[in-house]
Amino acid sequence: MARWSESRSWLTWFAIFFVLLAAAGVLVAAFAILTRPDVADLTSMDAPTLRAALGTLDSGSYLRIAMDLRAGSIPPADAWILNLWPPGVPAVDYVLLALPGLMLYKVLAVVIVVWSLAGATVAGVIASRGRVVLAGVFAAAWVFTPSTFNWVLGPGALYSEGFGTSFLILAVVAIAFLERRVRQRGASWGAVGAGAGAGGLLALALHFRWPLFISCAVVIASSIVCVVVLLIARAARRSTSRYQGLVGPLSALVATFVLCVAPWTIYGATHLHPGTVSWSMTDYLWAETWMTDAELRETGNGWLQELGGNWACNIDPDGCRTQHVVAMRQSPEDFPALRTAAMKAAVTHPVAFVQDRAHYWGHSWFGSPMSDVPPIVAVPFGLLQLGAFVGLVVVAIRNRRRAPVLIVAIGGLLLGQFVLLALSHIEPRYWIPVFALNWAGIGLIASATPKERPRPAGSAGLEELDDAGHVVV
């Protein structure tokens, strides 16, 4: 009965927060359309005109390949798009093209619905555990993060980040549910289903945003290690009853993830780019890490210099004098050697590497460069996000015994993003998953089961107690 009551409470809070978040998204979109002529112009365009206006921007290439697919074939000149982007956003565009109405309005509707769905799910979970104020803080942060940086109505940036981050956060919710079910009932089909859902959502996030691969890989690797350790402990008859119930759910997480990413991986390796299983042919970026500022500007990539893309040259000037000659050839055969050289430069010049990354991390964290957000807004917002990150660390430490699986999962996802941001050029929007994980992590970890006591001997779970000390059934 108590669990049914909590489920009903979650549905109620979910509905409330979904309406509030969607309304906020509509207001932000309406304000941008009314106050920004560049956005207003885009809203009045049909799909072909919008595609021409967006040009080679990310959102323009998504729309281009979707229109090609609608026409029945992909011209050779557009083949690079599927070699660069995963299929999620083009697939959504493909569906939206079949619906009536102006394209940008349809895009905004889908983005707002998905972003609100993810935010309301997390806020509903937090509120249903009695943390209503914390749920409200999370909901405000969920709206504030993309809105402040104009990612809702920029040149389509949130259209990929928004989807990828939303599904990533939903995967975290599934992991939190998985852990709670194991604590309550031990090994159960509900926990296995949550594990499968988490794996599917991680894969779905990857279909929209390939840079999330490192984060997903960390979670999958951690799950595999956990399962192996638990199986070894079981075989050795060690007493690990508290965690043995995780074997099935984490195995389901890994298996579902692999099954969901396999089709596009196989298709890409056999049709798009034979010989590699990568979803995004971005090895050329390793050449650009070894180009000088002047060379990047000459090749039309001056924006990479502004975002720290040529960090290897910045930290190892001596190596740059040799490697930039190879880099300028931009030959695929040279990319592995250039990657190795860049990694070696980072290891042999650690102080310069950290200083370079800290400089660009600081600029991008506070919304610049390549952002039209004024410092009077960006600086307080950056400080707020920094405070949220510190808060997440504090909450994780205080609740490390209540939600260890959830904490490891969130930590792994954050670690993956930090690795990505250490090795690539850094755009402000790359922090969206980090900001979202900060706030969702605080709420979900803080609302973990507050009281528990062991079940009788032989049980693989932990009973949950209410505030009066009674067992929840």
Token output for 105: 């309005």
Q: Is the pLDDT assigned to residue 97 strictly greater than 70?
A: yes
Mean pLDDT of 238-245: 71
Rounded Cα distance, 68 and 54, in Å: 16
SS3 state at 376: helix
Contact assessment for residue 207 and residue 160, using Cβ atoms and an 8 Å cutoff: no
Mean pLDDT of 377-398: 88
Tell me how long the chain is: 473
Structural domain boundaries in the chain: 2-44+102-281+360-451, 285-348
274: closest CA among 83, 133, 3? 83
The reported pLDDT for the residue numbered 298 is: 84
Name the pLDDT band for 154 (thresholds 50, 70, 90).
low
C-alpha distances (whole Å) from 263 to each of 40, 266, 351, 368, 419 are 39, 5, 42, 38, 27
The reported pLDDT for the residue numbered 372 is: 54
25: closest CA among 127, 107, 123, 126? 107
Dihedral angle of Cα 99, 101, 104, 110, to the nearest 10 degrees: -50
Q: How far is CA 409 from the centre of its chain?
A: 13
Torsion 35-36-39-43 (CA) sign: positive
Rounded Cα distance, 180 and 371, in Å: 41
Q: Is the pLDDT assigned to residue 196 strictly greater than 90?
A: yes
Lowest mean per-residue pLDDT among 31-45, 114-128, 341-355, 456-470: 456-470
C-alpha distances (whole Å) from 265 to each of 64, 92, 203 are 22, 19, 11
**Which residue do the tokens 């939303």 mark?**
166
The reported pLDDT for the residue numbered 156 is: 47
Contact assessment for residue 18 and residue 117, using Cβ atoms and an 8 Å cutoff: yes
- The larger pLDDT score, comparing residue 156 to residue 298, is at 298
Token output for 275: 């010989």
pTM of full prediction above 0.85? yes
Token output for 458: 């032989």
Q: Cis peptide before 155, with omega less than 30 degrees from 0?
A: no
Mean pLDDT of 187-191: 85
**φ and ψ at 453, to 5 degrees?**
-145, 150
Continuous segment of H or E residues that includes residue 464: strand 462-464
Q: Is the pLDDT assigned to residue 467 strictly greater than 50?
A: no
Mean pLDDT of 39-56: 86
Rounded Cα distance, 266 and 271, in Å: 8
Q: Is the pLDDT assigned to residue 187 strictly greater than 50?
A: yes
- The larger pLDDT score, comparing residue 160 to residue 422, is at 422
The reported pLDDT for the residue numbered 198 is: 97
Three-class HEC string of 240-252? CHHHHCCHHHHHH
Q: What are the beta bridge partners of residue 453?
A: 463
Mean pLDDT of 457-465: 46
- Around Cβ 366, how many Cβ atoms within 10 Å? 21
Tell me what the pLDDT averaged over the chain comes to: 84
Q: What is the pLDDT of residues 403-444, one digit of tens each?
A: 999 999 999 999 999 999 999 988 877 888 999 999 999 999
Lowest mean per-residue pLDDT among 128-142, 277-291, 386-400: 277-291
Q: What is the pLDDT of residues 267-294, one digit of tens each?
A: 888 888 777 778 887 777 888 899 888 8
Token output for 32: 């941008």
**Which residue do the tokens 């997480």 mark?**
253
